[in-house]
Amino acid sequence: MAKISPNEFRTGVKIIYKGDLWEVVNFQAVHRGRGSAFVRTKLRNLKNGNVIEVSFSPEEQLEYPEIEMRNMVYLYNQGDSYVFMDNESYEQYELPSDIVGDNAKYLKEDLEVAVLMSNGEIIAVELPKTVELEVVDTPPGVKGDTVSGGGKPATLETGLTVTVPFFINKGDIIKVDTRTGEYVERVNK
């Protein structure tokens, strides 16, 4: 397995830290006047989504996993697992819920995702930055309250609940940011 120094970190780089696979979310090189320099990072665990802050010495060497990325399409949910199909080989993979994690609340049929593999084993599912989902339940908006900047809860077709502007109605298609879980915009049909 290759090695990587914290000085080579970039957003999105995958590393092995304490036996788990992590993604660099944020990093900053810190130089103190007389003290030694270090690299402050935020890492996201690819299995469970936990985010931690860690400081590394620039001389440290961390393992850099060989990762293959495959485009797959989400097909359906089967009990506690999720079935995906490889776009090239048409082979189907059944992934347990612990690999899919919180991404499950954004999955709808025919959604194209990137599946990360290391040594032939599927280790994570990466969603597109935004997904389009239908609003299945939300209280009606109050007339004239379209610009107030407030919001109301809306339940989406996957069961996810997000805060949306008052002008959003049941049946509307909205874009949701998969990184933050927040409403982005209404999609014109």
Domains and CATH numbers, the chain: 2-64 (2.30.30.30), 68-126 (2.40.50.140), 130-187 (2.40.50.140)
d(CA 151, CA 133): 18
Q: Which residues contact 128 (CB under 8 A, 6 or more apart)?
A: 111, 112, 113, 178
Q: How far is CA 83 from the centre of its chain?
A: 18
pLDDT at 145 over 80: no
Phi, psi of 103 (to 5 degrees): -65, -20
CB atoms within 10 A of CB 132: 16
Whole-angstrom Cα Rg for the chain: 20
pLDDT in tens, 44-82: 887 777 889 999 998 899 988 888 889 999 999 988 899
What is the tens place of the pLDDT at every residue in 77-133? 988 899 999 999 999 999 988 888 888 899 999 999 999 888 778 888 889 999 999
Note the pLDDT tens digit of each residue in 5-36.
888 888 888 888 988 888 898 999 888 777 78
The CA–CA distances, whole Å, from 101 to 44, 78, 105, 106, 125 equal 13, 15, 9, 11, 9
**What pLDDT is attached to residue 134?**
95
User: Looking at per-residue confidence, does 52 or 1 come out higher?
Assistant: 52
Q: Check whether 144 has a pLDDT greater than 60.
A: no
For residue 188 the two structure tokens come to 């014109």
Question: Percent of the chain having pLDDT more than 70?
Answer: 94
Q: Which amino acid is at 86?
A: D
Against a cut of 0.85, is the pTM above it? no
Q: Which residues pair with 43 in a beta bridge?
A: 24, 52
Which sign does the torsion angle of CA 92, 94, 97, 100 carry?
A: negative
pLDDT at 41 (0 to 100): 94
pLDDT band at 143 (very low <50, low <70, confident <90, very high): low
Mean local confidence (pLDDT), 162-183: 92
